[in-house]
Each structure stands twice: as C-alpha cells, then as structure tokens.
Amino acid sequence: MSDPLLEAKNLHKQYTNSHKTVEVLKGVNLHLEKGEFIAIVGPSGSGKSTLLHLLGLLDKPTEGEIVLNGQNTIRMNHKELASTRNRTIGFLFQAHHLLPEFSALENVMMPALMAGVPKEEAATKATGLLEGFGLEHRLNHRPSELSGGEQQRVAMARALINDPDLLLADEPTGNLDRSAGLELLRVLLELQERLNRTMVIVTHDPEIAAMAERRFKMVDGHLEEEI
C-alpha cells in the first residue's frame, strides 16, 4: 500500500427529484494503487455509473472525499476539476460519444488540443495511437463510417491521448459483439501491462470481470470486494 493513486473515502451520493430523495451510494471506500486493474459489477441501477462519475470528478459526492495523486479534490473549483480531469483521467463509456462531424483523427486530437498541445504534435500522437489500435487506414473516416468496434477503439485512443493516470471504463463493451468486446479488453490489458495504467472497468460480463486483478460488487450502496 505504498503508492496510492486514488483514495475514495466514505462516498455518499443522493439524488433528489422533485420531492423524493434517493440515496445511491452509502459510504463507498476504495483504495487504488498505481497500475491496478479492478472490475466493478452489480445489478443495473445499483450505482456503478454514479460511482464512476464521482471517481472521474464529473460530479461531486454528497459526502466523503476523493484524493487523487495525493490531492484532495473536494475543494477544487470547476476550473481545477476540469483541468485535473483533462490531464489525469481518461473515460471510456458504453456509447462512444465521438463527435459525428469530426474525423477519427480529429476526435482523438481534441483532448490534447484542449490541454494546450500544439496541433502538429497532437496529430502525430493521435495518429500513433490510432495506428497502435489497427486504425491507420481509418484516420479520416467519420464515426458513422466506422464499425462499432472501430468506434470504440477511436474512443479509447481519445481517452489515452493525454496519458491519463487513471482510465475509467463504464461498460465499454456493452454495445459490442462478444469478439469485439474481448478484443477491446485485450488492448486494455496490454496497455495496463506495458504502460502501468490504472484502470477501473464496470462490466456485466463475468469473463471480462475475471480478467481484472480485483473484483468489487456494488451492493446496497456499498462496494464489496469479492474474494
């Protein structure tokens, strides 16, 4: 337990809709070392996406705190959060959220440009990532001209362009057929091994969960490690 990348302490999250309050997370604790690959499973509606949003600093907990790279994120303002996200965290969602009017290459370059990387350098890096995912012949295709598996690999290249310390994946294989899903996982695993990336993957697929080093289950607002 020498080198924590992320420490989530006593996370609570409740949503209030008109007159009803739902408590989704009821005290989640998570300690992630650099280079760890964990999987989170649990029934639909149990709060897995809610937790990933909190870990990814896209939303704030009702109570509790998240320490990322030794920095407590709770008191960060909107701008600091956005910049920390951009530099430190990569997201991969079930839906790829690629921008339809831009090419694969432009989609991947976008976070780098937002981080202030010069255009040429961003293009070189994005090209390299896309080549690494076997998409060298798809650089100038728009998302609608790509298969589901290809779109998800473009989304992964985009998630990785700023060399994030932490990759958060929310059912990334959910829209893919089985072989494309497993192929995506193989790419993720290779990245973890080669670049020592820390990864949290939410999945319904027991075979994918089995690839992780540690498995957690979301149960009644708590995260339980499966031993």
Ligand X SMILES: Nc1ncnc2c1ncn2[C@@H]1O[C@H](COP(=O)(O)OP(=O)(O)O)[C@@H](O)[C@H]1O
Which residues form the interface with ligand X (CB under 6 A)?
15, 17, 22, 24, 42, 44-50
Residue 53 host element (H or E): helix 48-55
Instruction: Decide which of ligand X, Mg ion, none touches 17; Cβ closer than 5 to 8 Å per partner kind.
Output: ligand X
Q: Is 49 in the site for Mg ion (CB under 5 A)?
A: yes
Which residue lies nearer to ligand X by CB, 18 or 144? 18
- Sequence-ordered list of residues with C-beta below 8 angstroms from that of 51, at least 6 positions apart, any chain: 11, 13, 25, 28, 40, 218, 223
Instruction: Decide which of Mg ion, ligand X, none touches 46; Cβ closer than 5 to 8 Å per partner kind.
Output: ligand X
Greatest distance between any 2 Cα atoms in the chain: 53
Q: Is 94 in the site for Mg ion (CB under 5 A)?
A: no
**Where in 34-150 does DSSP place strands (E)?**
37-41, 63-68, 71-72, 89-92
Shortest separation between residue 58's beta carbon and ligand X, angstroms: 11
Instruction: Decide which of ligand X, Mg ion, none touches 2; Cβ closer than 5 to 8 Å per partner kind.
Output: none
Query: What is the chain's Cα-based Rg?
Result: 17
Shortest separation between residue 43's beta carbon and Mg ion, angstroms: 10
Which residue lies nearer to ligand X by CB, 56 or 111? 56
Decide if 49 contacts 42 (C-beta within 8 A).
no
Which residue lies nearer to ligand X by CB, 13 or 138? 13
Indicate the pairing of strand 89-92 with strand 166-170: parallel
Shortest separation between residue 91's beta carbon and Mg ion, angstroms: 13
Which residue lies nearer to ligand X by CB, 121 or 224? 224
Which residue lies nearer to ligand X by CB, 42 or 56? 42
Half-sphere exposure of 155 (CA within 13 A, CB side): 25
